[in-house]
Chain A
Amino acid sequence: MSDALSLALAEYLAKKLEASDLTVHDLARIPGGASRETYRFIARSGGRERRLILRRDPTASLIETERSTEYRAYEAFHKLGLPVPEPIALELGVSALERPFFVMAEVENAFVGSILAPDPYGAHRDKIGQQFWSNLGRIAGADPGALGLADFDGAKDARECWRHELARWEKVIDEDEGEPEPIARAAIRWLKRNPPAPAQKIAVVHGDYRSGNFLYDLNGDIRAILDWEMAHLGDPLEDLGWALDPLWAHHDPSRPAGTIPRAEAISLWETTSGLKADPEALFWWEIFASVKGLAIWISAAHEYATHRNDDPVNAFSGWYCLAYHNKVLAERLGALA
């Protein structure tokens, strides 16, 4: 890995952490999604060493997000005791590493379940499922004001959550659509004609809470919930609908996120959040989840096709995931016709 990047990072951290002897070692890029460059490294200072993660903006970002959002979410939920990496430093300027970045603690001896694997959690499936859906309930139940996140982007009025998010993702489709998408357009019209009940509360919505976005260890303990860059304020059912989406179900939609049966998952979420998952409203948010998915995949395809971001994950998303969500929506909305 680039010595220049290691040196620049060491220089930055030495100042930021007031550790003049700090050095950076073994800096290596690791997989971490197409929207941020992710690196693992060791920081040494005062005879001690610490394993850290660097998340840096790419030259072109897939989904434009407020750069401090992910870091602030880590800060807030780390204090709340939710399993998230400990945030260390946030830099919004470009003088240190050419692009904005943040540094957080590495969660060691933990793994990500590939969304392509048929049974990523094996014998720990149920144990991980209990934690996965309970943790989502804790996020839904938390008070954004008490977390210090009341200024996050998103709807501030419980009646407007659906409209706010639908407008956001429809705009992405409008801007990045390479060819007409009749299923996405029909789904958007359906969502507008059949709005859900107002949100029970305004919550922090993770925005990408799903299988593949958390770390777990060999004991089946969830050690870190990752990728909060799309966090915002909104209806807590939005996260539930996204987490339940069949794309993240490892080919078995009866066990969303590859974990426990759907009814059990929803019940756990209700218990820990103190909220109700009204079936009609949840159905709306599940249709929305697939539309949001389409918007992200259309955007990924656009990034790849225009060479703004050649990460092969973008090509995969714009091909496999796009076709997948089109089929999901055609089946679900077609059944209502």
Chain B
Amino acid sequence: MKPEAGDILGTAADQLMGQIAPNLNANYLQGSLAVQALLLKFAAREYERGADIRFAENADMRALFAELAPNIGDAGLRAQLTTAASTTDTSFAISALNAANAELRRHLIALQVHMEDLGDRAAQKRIWDALNVMAARRVVSLF
């Protein structure tokens, strides 16, 4: 079994934090290295979950558009959201998922502004529920 990138990053973080940082004399370098090690820990976890987070978030936004678009009176926005809802992720490269994610987020902002202007409380609640799930999924654990 070969080590995955996440294992390598995680082990490097442990070594930096546990063995190297304590042996540095310079206060600044010790602090800086500890933060670098923490970032490697984050990166190790992101290697495992990064694509999944983005894939799930993109799917959630498309589902939201598919649900709310049919009731939107503004033909332009309805068409925009209907088209966005029908797209799919064809690559799991982080850069490709990020590009799709950015586009979907733009549509989400437009949808939320529209529902706020209309005063549609039910739709706004549905959007905030989705945003809550997205935000919770992206939270980074320190431990």
Q: How far is the CB of A163 from chain B (nearest CB, A)?
A: 19
Assess the A179–B125 pair: CB atoms within 8 A. Answer: no
Assess the B135–A327 pair: CB atoms within 8 A. Answer: yes
List residues 11-58 of chain B with CB under 8 A from any CB of chain A.
26-28, 31-32, 35-36, 38-39, 42
Asked whether any CB of chain B lies closer than 8 Å to the CB of A182, the reply is yes
Asked whether any CB of chain B lies closer than 8 Å to the CB of A116, the reply is yes
B83-108 to A contact mask, C-beta < 8 Å, 1/0: 00000000000000010011001101
Assess the B128–A334 pair: CB atoms within 8 A. Answer: yes
Residue from A29, A182, A186, A324 with most neighbouring chain B CB atoms (10 Å): A182
Q: In the assembled complex, which residues on chain A have CB atoms less than 8 Å from the CB atom of B35?
A: 312-313, 316
Q: In the assembled complex, which residues on chain A have CB atoms less than 8 Å from the CB atom of B8?
A: none
B interface majority secondary structure: helix
List residues 153-185 of chain A with CB under 8 A from any CB of chain B.
179-183, 185
Assess the B42–A186 pair: CB atoms within 8 A. Answer: no
Assess the A334–B28 pair: CB atoms within 8 A. Answer: no
Asked whether any CB of chain A lies closer than 8 Å to the CB of B136, the reply is yes
Assess the A330–B128 pair: CB atoms within 8 A. Answer: yes
Given contacts A180-B106, A180-B109, contact A189 B39 (CB under 8 A): no
Assess the B27–A337 pair: CB atoms within 8 A. Answer: no
Q: In the assembled complex, which residues on chain A have CB atoms less than 8 Å from the CB atom of B121?
A: 337
Residue from A29, A183, A186, A337 in contact with B26 in the complex, judged by beta carbons closer than 8 Å: A29
Residue from B26, B28, B31, B39 in contact with A315 in the complex, judged by beta carbons closer than 8 Å: B39
Q: How far is the CB of A303 from chain B (nearest CB, A)?
A: 15
**Considering the chains assembled together, what is the distance between the CA atoms of A186 and B26 in angstroms?**
44
Size of the B side of the interface (Cβ < 8 Å), in residues, is: 35
**Considering the chains assembled together, what is the distance between the CA atoms of A329 and B131 in angstroms?**
10
Report the contact-size class of chain A (Cβ under 8 Å from the partner).
20 to 34
Asked whether any CB of chain A lies closer than 8 Å to the CB of B75, the reply is no
Assess the B116–A189 pair: CB atoms within 8 A. Answer: yes
Given contacts A180-B106, A316-B35, contact A189 B128 (CB under 8 A): no
Asked whether any CB of chain A lies closer than 8 Å to the CB of B82, the reply is no
Asked whether any CB of chain B lies closer than 8 Å to the CB of A5, the reply is no
Q: How far is the CB of A286 from chain B (nearest CB, A)?
A: 17
Residue from B32, B112, B134 in contact with A31 in the complex, judged by beta carbons closer than 8 Å: B32
CB<8 Å pairs between A and B, sample of 22: A30-B31, A179-B98, A182-B105, A183-B135, A186-B112, A189-B113, A189-B116, A312-B39, A313-B35, A316-B35, A316-B38, A316-B39, A319-B140, A324-B139, A324-B140, A327-B139, A329-B135, A330-B131, A330-B136, A331-B132, A337-B121, A337-B124
The chain A residues found within 8 Å of chain B, CB to CB, are 28-31, 40, 116, 179-183, 185-186, 189, 311-313, 315-316, 319-320, 323-324, 326-327, 329-331, 333-334, 337
